[in-house]
Structures are given as structure tokens and as C-alpha cells.
Structure 1
């Protein structure tokens, strides 16, 4: 039998605290970056839907020589667009300023949704292809 000092194996409290601090710092950097990329992906999906609706309206004009005069004519189409999983719960796509020769399509972030605090706010495109947003820079909102 040996009653001398025994060597205990394991991690010391200091080593565990160092690991905890490193993980905290990594999380503090990674989580906001990840959130920014997720918001950006929602914005890109909304832009895609805006362009799809604008293309649909252009197709209607090429067939009927008019965009139409009533937004109600497009209500079932817009319901399908808004139910699409890429924008559902994040943005509401709508048509405004509709006449025989003009339209504006907008994507507004849903209050309380994941895109509510997006830096671009409401994005829009009109019959001329002019793109705009209620806040943020054009480069941030449309060019990336």
C-alpha cells in the first residue's frame, strides 16, 4: 500500500474558466453575424418575389396591352406569393398605383416578424424597373 501523494487527473477550474471565456467571446461574435446573414437572406427572397410579381405584371401587359385597373384582379396571385415559405411571416408583397400603364410592387416587413428591424424597410419596384427602399442604402438593399 502506498500512502504517498496521489496524482489527481482532470481539468483545473482555471482551465475550465478559460474555455468558458473563449466560447463566450466566439458566441458574442458569431451570433450577431449569423443573424445579419439570416436577415439578408430574407431580404434577397423578398427581392426575388418582387421581381417575380413585376415580371408577371409585364407578362399581363404584353398579353392584354394593360397592367389592369384593379388590384383585386391579382388578389389570388398575391395570396400565393405571400403564402410562399420564402416570404411568409417575413414580408407582405402588395401592388399599388396600378393603372393601365403603371404599377408599383412593394415588400413590407411584417411587424414583429424576423424582418421587422431590417435596415432596408419597405422595398419596391415600379413599371420602369426603378428600385427603391424606405431606408438604408441602395447598395445594401438591392446590389448585394
Structure 2
């Protein structure tokens, strides 16, 4: 018969608190980096969608000799994180596609591309940019 005290097994409260503190510090460092990566991925996806739609607009112009009624014939790309608008010039010879950030993209700016392929990307909370004037996304 053993009457000795059994050894303690498990973790002390101090040890658990230290582990929680270390995990909290790592999460505080990693989460913003992860969020930034996700936002950049969403921007890259939208750049591809805008470029693809610009190609569709050029095909439309080649068949119809202008961009007239392009906004009704073609549907701008949809995305959960950007609102895309198509602005056709009054003479139907040019256009600007503008992608404005929505929820989940705070801190990023608008992207745009025009009929000549000039594009822009603003890195602030701005809601518009002018291709050929503002910084390019290239």
C-alpha cells in the first residue's frame, strides 16, 4: 500500500497565462499582415476583372464602331469588395471604368482604366482616380 502523495500533473495558472500572452502577441502581429495580404489579393483580382472587361469593351467597339450603348449591352464585373461603374464619354469614343472599394477594403483606394489602357490605383481611401494623371497600377 502506498501512502505517498501523488505527483502533481498538469499546468499551473501562471504557465497557462504565459502561453496565452505569447499567443496573443503572435496574433496581434500576424493578423494585420494577413489582412494586408487579403486586401492586395482582392485588388489584384479586381485589376484582372477590369482588364477583362476593358477587352470586352474593345470588342464591342470593334463590332459597333463606338461605345454607344455599351453600358446596357455589357454588364460590368461584379465583386463583393468593389463597386464598378462604366462612364462612356459624350461622343461615345472613350470610356473610364472605375472600381471603388467597399467594405473589407478600407485603406485601399479606387482603381480605374480607360480606352487607351491607361490605368490608376490610389492607395488611400479616395473614391476616384484619373488614368494617365494618377499613379498607375503597373
TM-score, normalization by structure 2: 0.78
Note the alpha carbon deviations across 1:21-50, whole angstroms, 9 max, x for none: 111111101111111111111111211111
Task: Using the TM superposition, give the Cα deviation of residue 125 of structure 1 relative to its aligned residue in structure 2, in angstroms.
Answer: 0.4
Match of 2:114 among 112, 126, 130: 126
Distance in 2 of aligned mates of 1:40 and 1:3: 65
Tell me which protein shows more helix as a share of its residues.
Answer: 1
**Root mean square deviation, CA, Å:** 2.2
Task: Using the TM superposition, give the Cα deviation of residue 76 of structure 1 relative to its aligned residue in structure 2, in angstroms.
Answer: 5.7
Q: Point out 4+ residue stretches in structure 1 off by more than 6 angstroms.
A: none
Confirm whether residue 92 of structure 1 aligns to residue 89 of structure 2: no
Task: Using the TM superposition, give the Cα deviation of residue 20 of structure 1 relative to its aligned residue in structure 2, in angstroms.
Answer: 0.8
Distance in 2 of aligned mates of 1:19 and 1:32: 21
Structure 2 unaligned residues grouped into runs of 5+? 125-133
Bigger relative contact order, structure 1 or 2 (CA pairs below 8 A, ≥6 apart): 1
TM-score, normalization by structure 1: 0.76
Paired residues, number: 128
Distance in 1 of aligned mates of 2:10 and 2:123: 55
* Native 8 Å contact 1:95 1:104 kept in 2: yes
Structure 1 unaligned residues grouped into runs of 5+? none
